[in-house]
Structures are given as structure tokens and as C-alpha cells.
Amino acid sequence: MSAEESAELTTRRDEREAVRKASPLSSRLVFEAIRQHGEEELRRPASALWWSGVAAGVLICFSVWGEALLRAKLPDTEWRYIIENAGYSMGFLLVILGRMQLFTENTITTVVPVVLRHNGPAFWRTMRLWAVVLAANVVGAFGIAAFMAFAPVMEEDVAAAVAELSRHATGLTGAESFYRGIPAGVLIAALVWMMPSAKSSRVPLIILFTWLIALGDFTHIVAGSVEMAYLMVQNELDIGPALTRFFLPVLAGNVIGGTVVFTLLTWAQIKAEIKEGT
């Protein structure tokens, strides 16, 4: 091979590599990246899932706390609502970038292996992970809510804002909580779907999607559990209304939004490519 041919081959190789790096990941590759991550999560021991879930339940409190801080400190104007909802992103940044177990992320991540295999063992492994992570998230949420309610860590105006936000979140009807949970589930699943392609833009992506959840007044089962628990530990909310008006409807809405609406529709658009590639 002459020097000119070698140089031309090197140039073409460099050009192909540049095109590969500039091109976004295909839907099939994104699906595969999420599948691999889901498989890793399903293989983790229950104790690891539990403590990661508890940590997520604790740290997600900064979504409620961040929003309350902005509400308390900003002037009472028409635009305050738009700005204060940016505080809702704080807890999600901590949890997602910290790779902690958040139940709503798993409505897509651990469902992908199930839709590929269509068998009982895959389904029950996913149900096991969901049960462990959701329970851990709720335990963490109650622990941090008790700390917020009884430890002298918040100024009076911030505590009043937390209580106001909590009453609003849990004061919806069961139907409202359910339907508002569906867009939240879709947005979290869409966020997880976009993360493999996001690379250096992950922080603004997380902020944008979770800010939209707050701005749209959608309901999220884990962040909302902090608000629910904040009222319950102070005997302001009974367990019956908490379960029927908030927890169970929001849980169902998030699962339907994340799994039925987003994940299964995503699978429908690429399943022919997956089968052709096998």
C-alpha cells in the first residue's frame, strides 16, 4: 500500500469515526442501553436495592424543600410560581446523578427485560425489585419528613410553605391524583430514555423534565410521599385519605404513564428492528 493510499484510508476511517460520534444513538441502541442497565439492577441483591431506595427517599425531600425555600423567599408575584417550581428539580438531581433507586425510574428500566423475554421469571424479578424499591423510598420519605417536621431545621416561613405544598399535593381527589400521575410517569420514563444520549447535557435535561412535572402540577409518588408523610407524622392527615386520595392513585398513574404509555409504545416502534437483529 502506497503512502497516498494509507493516508486516504486513515482519512476515511477518521471521517467515519467523526460521523459516528456526531450521530445520535438510534432508538434500538438506546433500548439496548436501558436493557443492560435494567438487567444489572435486577441482579442486585435486595439489601443493596433497599438501602439505595431509602437514600433516594431521603434525598428526594430536597425537591419539596427546594420548592418551599423559593416560595418562602421570593416576592409574592404572578411569576413566582414559575420560578419556585425549579426548586423541585433539586432532589431529582441528587437521586438520579447519584444513581440511587427511585421507583419511577424503574417503570421503564426494569420493564425492558420483561417485554423482551415475555416470561414469568423476568416478570417476578421486576415485581420483586418494584416492591423493595417502593417500600424503601416510602420509608426514607417518612424518616426525612419526621426530621423536617420536628427538628429545628426550617424557618417558620419555609415550614409554612412545606405545609402548604403538602396540603395541596394530598388534597386532590383520587381521580385527580391518578390522572395527574400519568404525565409524571411519562416524563420520568422519557427522561430515562434520553439519558444514554444526553452525555454532557444530563443536568439541564433532569432540571427541565422535573421542572415540567412541578409546573404542570403533576403528581409523583416518591416526592409526593414526603409531602404525604410530612402531614401524617403531625397527625394532620389520616392513613385512609392518604392511601385512597393520594398514594394508590398516584402510584397507579405513574406506573401507567411510565410503563403502559411510554415503555410499551417505545417497544412497539422498535420491536421489528430488534427481531431483525436477532
Residues 44-65: pLDDT tens digits?
888 999 999 999 999 999 999 9
Determine the pLDDT at residue 205.
Answer: 93
Residue length of the chain: 278
pTM equals: 0.84
* DSSP calls for 107-173: HHHTTHHHHHH-SHHHHHHHHHHHHHHHHHHHHHHHHHHHHHHHSS-S-HHHHHHHHHHHHHHHSS-
The answer to the question of residue 1 being in a domain is no
Say which CATH number the domain at 227 has.
Answer: 1.20.1080.10
Is 162's pLDDT higher than 60? yes
Determine the pLDDT at residue 15.
Answer: 41
The answer to the question of residue 65 being in a domain is yes
d(CA 115, CA 118) in angstroms, rounded, equals 6
The answer to the question of residue 247 being in a domain is yes
Determine the pLDDT at residue 122.
Answer: 76
4 or 253, greater pLDDT: 253
Is 42's pLDDT higher than 60? yes
The answer to the question of residue 246 being in a domain is yes
Tell me what the pLDDT averaged over the chain comes to: 85
Determine the pLDDT at residue 134.
Answer: 95
Is 76's pLDDT higher than 50? yes
Determine the pLDDT at residue 271.
Answer: 66
Taking only the tens place, the pLDDT of each residue in 198-251 is 777 889 999 999 999 999 999 999 999 999 999 999 999 999 999 999 999 999
- Report the candidate in 122, 52, 268, 95 with the shortest Cα–Cα distance to residue 191: 95
Full domain range(s) for residue 127: 26-277
Residue 218 burial class via C-beta count within 10 angstroms: exposed 0-12, middle 13-18, buried 19 and up: buried
d(CA 41, CA 136) in angstroms, rounded, equals 15
Residue with cell 386532590: 172
Determine the pLDDT at residue 6.
Answer: 53
Say which residues have a Cβ less than 8 Å from residue 29's Cβ, sequence separation at least 6: 196
Q: State how many domains the chain has.
A: 1
Determine the pLDDT at residue 187.
Answer: 94
The answer to the question of residue 18 being in a domain is no
Is 113's pLDDT higher than 90? no
Residue 140: count other Cβ atoms within 10 Å of its Cβ.
Answer: 28
Alpha carbon distances (Å) from 230 to 117, 168, 270: 41, 12, 43
Determine the pLDDT at residue 273.
Answer: 63
The answer to the question of residue 80 being in a domain is yes
The answer to the question of residue 216 being in a domain is yes
Q: Is the separation of the CB atoms in 113 and 126 below 8 Å? A: yes
Determine the pLDDT at residue 108.
Answer: 74
C-alpha 251: how far from chain center: 13
The answer to the question of residue 237 being in a domain is yes
Q: Is the separation of the CB atoms in 187 and 206 below 8 Å? A: no
Average pLDDT over residues 141-158: 96
pLDDT band at 183 (very low <50, low <70, confident <90, very high): very high
